[in-house]
Structure 1
Amino acid sequence: MKKNNKTYQTARLSAIPNMASAVSKKISLFQQQHRKVVEDATAFYQQYPLDIDQLRKYKKKLNAYAQQIEIIEKYKKEHGVLPQIAGQKSPEKYLHQLYMYEQNDKKAFTLLRQQMAIAQTKRYENLDHLTDNMLDLLNNQRIFSQFLGTLVLSTPLPDEKIRCVRNEKFKPIYIAGLVVALFEQIRITHGFKNRYLVEAMSDMFADPKASFMDIEQNSLSHEEMAAYREEVLKPVAKAALLLSIGSYSPQVEDIFAGDRYRLLSQQERELLVATIKIQSTAYLKLGIGIPPQRFNTHQEKLDYTEYEKNKLEFMLSFFSDENNDNCELQRLLKIPVVYSSFMISTKPEFDYRRIYDAYDTIRKSAVNNELDQNYSQLFLAMVGRFPIGSGIYFFNPETESIEQAIVSSLYPDNPHQPICKQITRRQLKSMTQQEIIVPVANNIFFESARHKSGYDDEYFTLKYQNSFVWNANEVWEVQIPALDFWKKDGTRKVCTAPMPKANH
């Protein structure tokens, strides 16, 4: 691959949001942009085959005109007069009509190609803008936590009719965020052997172990970050965003048979997965592809085409069958896809308590070699046992009562000890900007904590009905304003005081 020596624009990096309100606005913006990307794809699948068919018809007619004109002109050149044509009184008039028809169809052909190029450029730009806005929210752990947590907390409740439709629309954004974050962890700890990545990232970083996903401010220079985003992170994010875009094609709609969320048979499921991959690949190659541009020289065009072609082939490797060059990318993708099926479910029947099973499912799948063990370990360390945006109950020694909290940060020091915002005090709504770390001994999700809590089994049975977690979506933006929740002062307190001894 030819090394790109372009100069990158770094001004955007200075405008990345840092206040909770600014991040929320950004999330709202790219959710709108993602809807536009879906609309673009739906229109592409409907219109592109028609346009291609029309281009073929124009080509066929133009070839026929050209052949007839050539025959007539050749005859005139050889004999000095136009030939008599069956069914035509005037060969001169007929030849004039041929030229006129040819000219009109050439104009129509050129116009249609221009319209297709404009539509392709628009699709490319819409995806590019969405990716830029999404990557702004992966600039450090604090922003990323708000980004991912807001998506989860904004999902509809289990019994809401719009849940499947809305979750289906936003699941690709959730997956893409996790893919980029996991990609960064793998880059720092294990590295990649993929040819494109090796070439693109050679000499890119002053410190190859420096991460843009630090807690607050990453140590990458603006020049490093701009190059990393453009050459690596944007192609990765775009591929992740388009993984299931093929589900909006007519071929997949036929498999759904009018119900996108019905339970499929194993045979239907296999056909669905294969068809989505084919159609997603087609959209990336034909719908996005390499957008046309104007150039001053032929060499500029060649350099641009080679540069964009390398990036496109890299993105397409995410959709290809697994091989020696893309196996790392395929293993990376599988983990966020599995995790998202718990967190952003599109199943008609959904119990929110299933999200707390995601950690163990990935861990067991890694043990069984169904998922990459090293990558899974990195991923689980990032998300923790208790997903961001999930609700927990914990015993607070300060109030000597069981309080509610919502997981508010990723990257816990211990995956079993979530970083949370406490939202009740003495079981009344209350919230500060400080985060708390809840140890296993204080988290009543764990049986050992319940036994040590000072509360008897009957209390837990009556009070919690054996459900020791809660759905934070029920109070989100109703009792818990998003902007208040995401405001953090940077301090964290650990609940370490002893549990009560007396029964209640």
Structure 2
Amino acid sequence: MENKTYSDSYFTSQVKSLLSRIYGHSQLNDSVLERAIEYYEKQSFIEHKLDELKQNIEKVSRQTATDKAKTLRVRLEREQRNYYEELRFERNERHQHLYKLCKEIIKLSEGDCFEDSNRKSSQLLGTIQLVSPTQGRKIALTNEQHKPLYKSVLCLRLLDRLCMDQHIVEPYIKSALGDINAEQYQTLAEDNPEAYQAFVEKVKIPLVMAALLQDIGNNHPESLVILRGADYQKDPHRTLPIEERKALLQINYRETVKYLIDGIGAGIYIGNSKKDRDEHNVVEHKKLLFIKHLLKSAVNPKKGIGNLLKVPQIYSSIILSTKDSYNYKLLPKVYYVLNQNAERGACCQAVVNALTKITGHFPQGYGVTYVPYEQDINDRYEYAIVSQLYPANADYPICRTATRNLAFISHGQEIVIKKSANLYFTETAKSFSTISKERLHEILELLVSNSHERKQLDLLPRCWQPGEFFSVNINQKLWNKAK
């Protein structure tokens, strides 16, 4: 990998910017996360201030019915009016900020047809994976920031799949679909842009909002005491005792819903028509109730619409894990965990199956090591990166090759890697184990950039970590047409 240029393509820069504006930290304090933290802190301060004023009024009133008590009451009413007016203004501003981000996410992940939406979503999911560290101390922190966007894209693609499979029974979504059947839905953006846009506004944007806000309550002061300890010295990503875990789940749900209603609210109508305003308010109120319903249903989804959030949430929490047990090699085991959850009744098996059909067992951006098909003698392996959704077989990822004849390339071919060629699978690795150690060392010399890194690798790697490869600008075109 000589003459490296460590800069980002336009698309990668867009994704990094989006990740930063959702759960990042900045000097402007204007990400979704930072706005929620500011809301929680400000709400706590103002409520304390109003409670203090109320107590003063009660104290003065008990002592004597003087003008002082009356003055305090007038002051309280003024403070309350100012508080609610300020809350209304800030709520609308936060709503507009979140709404614009959701529109941007949909624009980056959806195209004019079903195939284009899958390609764009592959690119977005893969880029998130490839810019997320797979080793070092920043894994947990970065994955926590990247998960909401990753999950929201999965939710969109899962919604499409469930609509096309006619598995949607949720009244709100069925009403938004109207008489659009499964076949029409697949080509809706291309054949009927107006109906598609209406569905985006009524269903897809609220769904993305729910995905982005689902765990925002974990940033409430009460949640942070559990996660970080009263002195803020504990590791927030540690495994919590059961009782603390239960308490955190309750606080997270309660404060997420409260933030949704009081901190985000419904979109405000801008205009002079009373009729349009009334219609707008009805639509926005229904959307807000739908988001709340998604959040509530996801806590214990059974076979309901909450699975639309819950299944991608579990998937994302494994692919972008924040736990000490994170192991890049084990990411393809994600459906082993999901199927276990389905067996326990924590989520719906049919929805797990639908997501499996979309992603296959190998996540987007995952580094696959494989034996080339064209050789008669197995004397080498090559690198590839999972680059497309909807593999015909869950164990056969659609990949873009990253090496050819043990040399890195920027414009690889798109290939389907069968189980019999994929070194991730034990039986394939065993069949390749006849190669001498000398030859395997020779291959590592060519494919790995430094000796220190080589010492940490298995002699016969079951996968590879393509983060460094992807950090080079010219290698960030994995989703362009292969030449």
TM-score by length of 1: 0.77
Deviations 1:136-194 (A, max 9, x none): 122111110010001111112322x2222221122111111111211111111033222
Structure-2 residue corresponding to 1:262: 238
The question of 1:48 aligning with 2:43 is answered yes
Instruction: Give the whole-Å Cα distance in 1 for the aligned partners of 2:209 and 2:86.
Output: 24
Q: Which AA in structure 1 matches 2:479?
A: W
Structure 1 counterpart SS, 2:368: strand
Counterparts of 1:41-80 in structure 2 under 5 Å?
41-54=36-49
Shift of 1:332: 2.7
Q: Percent identity?
A: 24
Shift of 1:326: 8.8
Kept after mapping to 1: 8 A contact 2:440/2:459 = yes
The question of 1:443 aligning with 2:419 is answered no
- In the superposition, relative to structure 1, how do residues 397 and 433 fare at CA in structure 2: closer, same or farther (>3 Å)? closer
Larger Rg: 1
Q: Which AA in structure 2 matches 1:483?
A: Q
The question of 1:231 aligning with 2:231 is answered no
Shift of 1:361: 2.6
- In the superposition, relative to structure 1, how do residues 452 and 119 fare at CA in structure 2: closer, same or farther (>3 Å)? same
- In the superposition, relative to structure 1, how do residues 447 and 168 fare at CA in structure 2: closer, same or farther (>3 Å)? closer
Match of 2:183 among 209, 214, 224: 209
Q: Which AA in structure 1 matches 2:97?
A: N
Instruction: Give the whole-Å Cα distance in 2 for the aligned partners of 1:362 and 1:390.
Output: 18
In terms of mean alpha carbon deviation, does 39-48 or 290-299 score higher?
A: 290-299
Structure-1 residue corresponding to 2:462: 468
The question of 1:487 aligning with 2:463 is answered no
In terms of mean alpha carbon deviation, does 22-31 or 281-290 score higher?
A: 22-31
In terms of mean alpha carbon deviation, does 146-155 or 107-116 score higher?
A: 107-116
Kept after mapping to 2: 8 A contact 1:158/1:350 = no
Shift of 1:327: 4.7
Structure-1 residue corresponding to 2:151: 175
Structure 2 counterpart SS, 1:219: helix
- In the superposition, relative to structure 1, how do residues 358 and 321 fare at CA in structure 2: closer, same or farther (>3 Å)? closer
Shift of 1:476: 2.6
Instruction: Give the whole-Å Cα distance in 1 for the aligned partners of 2:65 and 2:315.
Output: 72
Deviations 1:311-348 (A, max 9, x none): 11111012225799995222232221221122111113
- In the superposition, relative to structure 1, how do residues 329 and 461 fare at CA in structure 2: closer, same or farther (>3 Å)? farther
Structure 2 counterpart SS, 1:286: helix
Instruction: Give the whole-Å Cα distance in 2 for the aligned partners of 1:177 and 1:220.
Output: 23
Shift of 1:416: 1.2
The question of 1:162 aligning with 2:138 is answered yes
Structure-2 residue corresponding to 1:422: 401
Kept after mapping to 1: 8 A contact 2:216/2:252 = yes
Match of 1:132 among 84, 103, 106: 103
Kept after mapping to 2: 8 A contact 1:62/1:106 = no
Instruction: Give the whole-Å Cα distance in 2 for the aligned partners of 1:325 and 1:424.
Output: 43
In terms of mean alpha carbon deviation, does 371-380 or 108-117 score higher?
A: 108-117
Structure-2 residue corresponding to 1:308: 284
Instruction: Give the whole-Å Cα distance in 2 for the aligned partners of 1:150 and 1:279.
Output: 31
Deviations 1:287-307 (A, max 9, x none): 111244466465554433322
Q: Which AA in structure 1 matches 2:385?
A: I
Uncovered stretches (5+) of structure 2, i.e. residues with no partner: 1-7, 25-30, 111-116, 445-457
- In the superposition, relative to structure 1, how do residues 208 and 21 fare at CA in structure 2: closer, same or farther (>3 Å)? farther
Kept after mapping to 2: 8 A contact 1:23/1:143 = no
Q: Which AA in structure 2 matches 1:249?
A: H
What RMSD, in angstroms, separates the aligned Cα atoms of the two structures? Answer: 3.5
Structure-2 residue corresponding to 1:76: none
Shift of 1:394: 1.1
Structure-2 residue corresponding to 1:91: none
Deviations 1:67-107 (A, max 9, x none): 9xxxxxxxxxxxxxxxxx999xxxxxx89x978x8887766
Q: Which AA in structure 1 matches 2:41?
A: Q
Instruction: Give the whole-Å Cα distance in 1 for the aligned partners of 2:175 and 2:480.
Output: 40
Q: Which AA in structure 2 matches 1:33?
A: R
TM-score by length of 2: 0.80
- In the superposition, relative to structure 1, how do residues 346 and 117 fare at CA in structure 2: closer, same or farther (>3 Å)? same
Kept after mapping to 2: 8 A contact 1:211/1:219 = no
Match of 1:402 among 373, 378, 381: 381
Q: Which AA in structure 2 matches 1:221?
A: N
